[in-house]
Amino acid sequence: AQSVAQPEDQVNVAEGNPLTVKCTYSVSGNPYLFWYVQYPNRGLQFLLKYITGDNLVKGSYGFEAEFNKSQTSFHLKKPSALVSDSALYFCAVRETTDSWGKFQFGAGTQVVVTP
Amino acid sequence: SAVISQKPSRDICQRGTSLTIQCQVDSQVTMMFWYRQQPGQSLTLIATANQGSEATYESGFVIDKFPISRPNLTFSTLTVSNMSPEDSSIYLCARRGGLNNEQFFGPGTRLTVL
């Protein structure tokens, strides 16, 4: 079985400061890992993914994430946060061996960026 | 990226009634997915809708409550039957895509049951 944990319900950061949103996962095999963002009254937008290769993955809107196999983590980062980054962020995992491609989502982390 | 549309975008319904949500995707896919996002919570997979066969439901979800149709490779419907206030949620459809089958989501249908 696969699972995802986002330990923080909310992250508060001042504009211009670094932003980190934490995610840890558990799978029986190798993972595909994803980050999605949800703005108010909108669907989920894909940010980035880790499949294989370089542990540092770059995605949309200046976000990046680092895959750490030993710590089973996939933290989302942005060097300089913007007020417009305020949104709900979801980490998701899919087992590479799952042909159905079912995703397991974390509980979500609300990011609040203050001016 | 993907273009996925849902209708209606939101609705307010009375207890005991049913609502059918439509999802149109921009390319032919075998699998489509239906999720529920209850207020303040994460996404929960309701079922996987395969074209040409019965939908596969996740634990806790049954066909009588959430019947799904998949008439062709670009369209699916989810019906929320005999609604109660506990069904108030955002319902999202998704399709697989990309090189590694990431999921792309529709904008969601915000359902409020009174």
**Alpha carbons A46 and B55: distance in angstroms, whole number:** 25
Are B43 and A44 within 8 A, CB to CB?
A: yes
Mutation target among A60, A100, A110 for the B interface, most CBs of B within 10 A: A100
> For residue A10, what pLDDT is reported?
96
- Residue A40: which pLDDT band, with cuts at 50, 70 and 90? confident
Using CB atoms and an 8 Å cut-off, which of residues 50-89 of chain A contact chain B?
51
- B110–A102 C-beta distance less than 8 A: no
How many Cα atoms within 13 Å fall on the side-chain side of residue A10?
6
DSSP string, B72-96: ETTEEEEEE-S--GGG-EEEEEEEE
User: Does the beta carbon of A44 lie under 8 angstroms from any beta carbon of chain B?
Assistant: yes
* Residues of chain A contacting residue B102, judged by C-beta atoms under 8 Å apart: 32, 34, 46, 49
Mean pLDDT lowest among A54-68, B19-33, B95-109: B95-109
Whether B48 sits inside 8 A of A102 (CB atoms) is yes
**CB atoms A46 and B96 under 8 Å:** no
Q: What is the mean pLDDT of residues B71-91?
A: 95
Each residue of A59-101: pLDDT tens digit?
989 999 999 999 999 999 999 999 999 999 999 998 766 666 6
Going by pLDDT thresholds of 50, 70 and 90, the confidence category of residue B17 is: very high
Beta strand pairing call for B4-7 and B10-13: unpaired
Given a cut of 90, whether residue B36 has pLDDT beyond it is: yes
Report the range out of A24-38, A90-104, B10-24, B49-63 with the highest average pLDDT.
Answer: B10-24
| Portion of chain B with pLDDT greater than 90, in percent | 75
Listed range (A28-32, B36-40, B92-96) with the worst mean pLDDT: A28-32
Q: What local confidence, expressed as pLDDT, does residue A28 receive?
A: 83
User: What's the pLDDT score for residue B99?
Assistant: 66
